Amino acid sequence: MRTTTVHHYNGHVAVWVNGAHRFDAHVRLSRRDLLNEFETLAGTETVLDGTSWDGRFQGLAHGDLQGLQVAGEFELRLVTGTVGVALLPNGRDLAYLHGLGDAPF
């Protein structure tokens, strides 16, 4: 059986581009973990089958978001010290961000 669990992060991040701090922002991030459950002789076993994450910037100026879209990939540094890499894939909705690789939360 396949199930998906969803986790959220709602808070502040520092946005870095090419090793330079650009600005601080408030984000709402979501991570989806795809789990596979299967029965074995020892019982039920759950295996992580994949993770994806995305989110939205909240309250940022349009110009800041356009600069990120032009830059391509950027880093989100959470207050916990973890870092995630993301990009803005949609020119019509610049507040939407798509996570690349491991989620920072």
The predicted pLDDT at position 92 comes to 86
Can you give the residue range of the structural domain that contains 64? 2-100
Asked if the structure places residue 6 within a domain, the reply is yes
pLDDT tens for 90-103 read 888 999 999 999 99
pLDDT tens for 6-56 read 999 999 999 999 999 999 999 999 999 999 998 989 999 999 999 999 999
Alpha carbon 62 to chain centroid distance?
Answer: 20
> CATH code at 52?
2.40.10
Instruction: Determine the residue type at 81.
Output: G
pTM of the entire predicted model: 0.88
Helices (H), 19-83: 62-71
Instruction: Determine the residue type at 1.
Output: M
Neighbours of 68 (CB within 10 A): 22
Q: Find the distance separating the first CA and the last CA of the chain, reported in whole Å.
A: 25
Structurally, how many domains does the chain consist of?
Answer: 1
Asked if the structure places residue 94 within a domain, the reply is yes
Asked if the structure places residue 56 within a domain, the reply is yes
Asked if the structure places residue 39 within a domain, the reply is yes
